[in-house]
Amino acid sequence: MIQVSEYLIEILKNYPALAAAVQSRIFPLFANEGTRFPFAVYGFGEVSSETKDACAYNVNVAVWFEPNNVTEAYQMADDLKELAEKNPWEFINTNVGADEENRKIFSEINFKIIM
């Protein structure tokens, strides 16, 4: 899983639309309390083998914004879909949602990487 994490973080850090929004604030699983918005969080899990030589990983990337940045969140959903389509990944879906408890909004994408 380290190999997948390193591969993913390299692509995310070098994608201009994401880098412009979050700079270097890209974290595995969760961001530390007090992290400045916007930031990105990614996670993934291995699924059954695609072939005898390759494994597949379902990936989720979420970019978190302050609640007054709804337009930016919708744009990021489009940007994340474009990122998935530029890579040899299997796009699953994008979503823009809100965490009512924390009063924050997020854009997220789900896709599959086969390695």
pLDDT tens-digit profile of 20-64? 999 999 999 999 999 999 999 999 997 766 566 778 999 999 999
> What predicted TM-score, i.e. pTM, was given to this entire model?
0.91
Rg (the chain; Cα; Å): 14
CATH topology of domain 2-114: STM4215-like (3.30.2000)
Can you give the pLDDT at residue 22? 98
Can you give the pLDDT at residue 51? 62
Q: Is there a contact between 110 and 93 (Cβ–Cβ < 8 Å)? A: yes
**Per-residue pLDDT tens over the stretch 7-22:** 999 999 999 999 999 9
Can you give the pLDDT at residue 17? 97
Can you give the pLDDT at residue 75? 98
Q: Is there a contact between 96 and 80 (Cβ–Cβ < 8 Å)? A: no
